[in-house]
Chain A
Amino acid sequence: MTKTSEIRIPANEITVAKRTEASIAVVGNPNSGKSTLFNRLTGLKQRIGNYPGVTVEKHVGYLKTDDALVELVDLPGTHSLSAHSLEEHIAVDVIFGRIEGTQSPDGILAVLDATNLYQGLFLVQQLVDLELPMIVALTMTDAAEKSGIQVDTAALSALLGVPVYPVVATTGAGLEMLRRAIGGIKEIEPPRRIRVWPELTEAAAEAAEGAHERLRFAELERLLIDGPTAANQAIVAKLSDRGRSKIDALRAALFGDEPPIARDAHIRYAWVRDVLDKVQKAAPAYVSWRTRVTDFLNLPVPGTIGLFLVMAIVFQAVFAWATPIMDAIDATSSSLSTSVFSALGDNAFSSLIADGVIAGVGSVVIFLPQIIILFLFIILLEDSGYLARAAYLMDRAMRSVGLSGQSIIPMISSFACAVPGIMATRVIPSRRDRIATIMAAPFMTCSARLPVYALLIAAFVPATNVGFLNLQGLVLFGLYLFGIVMGILTALLMRKTALRGPKPPFALMLPEFRRPNLQTVAIQLLGRAKVFLKRAGTVIFAVAVIVWALAYFPRSDDIDPGLDANTSAALQMEQSWLGRAGKVVEPVFEPLGWDWRVSSAVIAGFPAREVVIAVLGTVYAVGDEADEGTLSGRLKSATRPDGSKVFTLPMVIGLLIFYACCLQCAATLAIIRRETNTWRWPVFAWGYMTAIGYLGALIAFQLGSA
């Protein structure tokens, strides 16, 4: 360190003690280009956290101008301040400063999509009424002009009473002006309320008299419209008893028998149409490639065929493109292990590093290419607006099993990994549908099941052709299908029993197709990879070390030193804690045709199913069988003490079914706990899926061997 007196920092590099410090909520409709703009404004200066008590991710970014450091909070997209889904609730709670540990925003950055002013202004008008310093960023102005829409920014700004900055987030046009405006947001005079509905404002003024703590006008208006819902309890708590009964009386007088939300929507959208007449000039629409693509895919049959084609391409890419990289990772991790042994000699420490850490973590990191490719596609499909269309196309089919089209997105994501799939259920408004989807998601064949399938199929399914199809590929496809069917049956069962309830709601925005922004895609992808690697570095690392210790200790001195390395390793394994555990539970798995070795591998795989391959690799590294070279060769020739084969066809089918069903993934259990906020669901899911897996394997083995 240099001496303090010598430090000279240019003024624009000082990050603390700025002139202005403010926290700004970024609010907008879903698909308004909000996240793209947020990423543009903050770049990589972002933090992803969680709101307390709920699982919605909190995206915070920082924006530095010449003389200010401003915190931007990217809120989940919402259509109205009447919250509908969990994500919308968070957005509204942050805006009203109701979230513990999150400060009430000093200002609002409203994101308004120039191609969809209609829904955008509906929200922006409600935001203006919050009486907070506010800036409107008018996004997608380029797309709007292409489709023949011209927006009079000055007129819009005058009508709203807030500054409006047109930007093109994808090219960066207009961003500098917007950035400067955000830096000085505290100097902006809060807008005056737009009196779209004077009766409501008067009623709110009257209700304010019944409050013993200061309440904002906008909060009272929300309470009048939405009533004392769970979301509004914070407001109700600030009212006196008289104030509460006054609210009821005022609501009755205002709305009578009419649903308040309907009246509210009617009045505000009438205002919106009026504003549109004044600020928006629509020229004859230019027919873009997007419109043509949309029009073609709008036809029911091409649309549905297109959906299946897209899914086929995605899966093809996940498996074909990832293989070379996965092979490289595999080769690297085994050569690393070998060099550890040659450098440190054969002892407990080198075994911990090579067999425990490198093999364990390596067996997980190997999925990174597949996960990145799958996420790349899912992010591209989502950002281009296609996933919403998939939900629309699949709604009818999903409805027949008691879910809605919105459940299709979590299910598709679960093919990569159930963890992000389960996180994707947050957009589902009804809790019953959400939990039914969460219960179905872990049945989807995730990328950790794939290596287990690949190993067993390569070893036991002949590589013959059935017609022009490869039998091995067919079996793999069948296993994917089996997972889907099991998931759907589970959802159906849940919706008929524990989660019985009204038909799931369905109202979905279908955005036009648009080209995804590469920066946004890259930032999201990087975030996902980071989360995955962090898991591999922490949870999986710990599990790998524990499994290694269970398989390594206690050491036995009785093993004949004259035996070759593989045989002694296998004997060692047999009397290790893991081997003993395998023998203890062997009677439980005996009816499935498993010996103690398979049983101990399966036990080791409960925290993370992919571990099973590493364990099988160790336990079957025995004597003559090791001559077969590959693991699949060793499995083929594995015998019981009486000489009969362990891996018979019925047993293998049973094992595959077991893996297709069983919930062997600690991370999934943890995420179910977090998303449902109770241990009941993860415990149930684990018991249910394990029971089904066991029964399936039992039936397959017993029928096949009879």
Chain B
Amino acid sequence: MAINGSTLASLKRGQKGVIRAINAADPQVQRLMVLGLVEGTEVEHASSAIGGDPMEFRLFGCGISLRQEHARHFKVVPVVAGD
């Protein structure tokens, strides 16, 4: 299942988004869900390493790093600034 539109990977640094759908076939993605990246959770793209990969996201005060290839499996609705 390919995901169209915004994903975690397309969030800019400092931008927030709410996870709406997840392609959870990959066990790596399931592991990230155990760490708290699930539908309905608001996350912020906090940083990325040199070259933009891996990326760091913050949710409820904790930081999780993951690779771009996995970030693409999380569809998000970006939070509009000023919300």
Contact = CB atoms under 8 A, between A and B. Distances in A.
Given A261-B34, A269-B41, A300-B47, A396 B22 contact: no
Interface stretch (A238-246, A435-443, A508-516): A508-516
Interface string B14-56: 0000000010110111111111101111000011111111101
Contacts of A395: 49, 53-54, 65, 67
B33 A396 contact: no
Contact of B40 (A116, A261, A270): A270
A509 B33 contact: no
Given A80-B34, A262-B22, A507-B32, A298 B47 contact: yes
A122 B59 CA distance: 14
Given A258-B24, A392-B54, A507-B28, A119 B46 contact: no
Contacts of B63: 509-512
A270 B38 CA distance: 8
B62 interface: yes
A266 B40 CA distance: 9
Contact of B39 (A119, A122, A266): A266
Contacts of B27: 505
Nearest to A300: B50
Contacts of B46: 298
Interface string A77-101: 0011010100000000000000000
B24 A259 contact: yes
A547 B7 CA distance: 64
A266 B33 contact: yes
Nearest to A118: B60
Contacts of B35: 79, 119, 507, 509
B30 A509 contact: no
A192 interface: no
- Give the interface SS of chain B, mostly helix, strand, loop or mixed: mixed
A80 B35 CA distance: 9
Interface string A392-423: 11011000000001000000000000000000
Interface in B60-77: 60-67, 70
Contacts of B34: 79-80, 82, 84, 122, 261, 265
Contacts of A512: 61, 63
A258 B66 CA distance: 22
B36 A510 contact: no
Q: Which size class do B's interface residues fall under?
A: 35 or more
A147 interface: yes
Contacts of B39: 266
Q: Which of A300, A396, A507 has the most C-beta atoms of chain B within 10 angstroms of its own C-beta?
A: A507
B62 to A, nearest CB: 5
Contacts, number: 119
A352 to B, nearest CB: 55
B64 A304 contact: no
Contacts of A444: none
B50 A269 contact: no
B51 to A, nearest CB: 6
Contact of A118 (B25, B30, B53, B59): B59
A273 interface: yes
Contacts of B28: 505-507
B30 A304 contact: no
Q: Which size class do A's interface residues fall under?
A: 35 or more
B54 A259 contact: no
A116 B65 contact: no
Nearest to A269: B38
A259 B25 contact: yes
B50 A304 contact: yes
Contacts of B59: 118
B62 A119 contact: yes
Interface in A370-406: 392-393, 395-396, 405
Nearest to B69: A503
A276 B41 CA distance: 12
Given A80-B34, A82-B34, A509 B54 contact: no
Contacts of B24: 258-259, 261-262
Contact of B49 (A119, A276, A300): A300
A506 B54 contact: yes
A469 interface: no
B61 to A, nearest CB: 6
A38 B62 CA distance: 22
A658 to B, nearest CB: 36
Contact of A262 (B30, B47, B54, B66): B30
Given A298-B56, A395-B49, A118 B36 contact: yes
A115 interface: yes
Contacts of A539: none
A341 B71 CA distance: 69
Contacts of A507: 28, 31-32, 35, 64-66, 70
Interface in A234-264: 258-259, 261-262
A301 interface: yes
A259 B9 CA distance: 22
A568 B59 CA distance: 74
A264 to B, nearest CB: 8
8 contacts: A80-B34, A118-B60, A265-B36, A300-B50, A301-B50, A304-B49, A509-B64, A512-B61
**8 nearest A-B pairs in the assembled complex, by CB-CB distance:** A298-B47, A510-B63, A118-B60, A262-B24, A265-B33, A261-B30, A300-B50, A392-B65
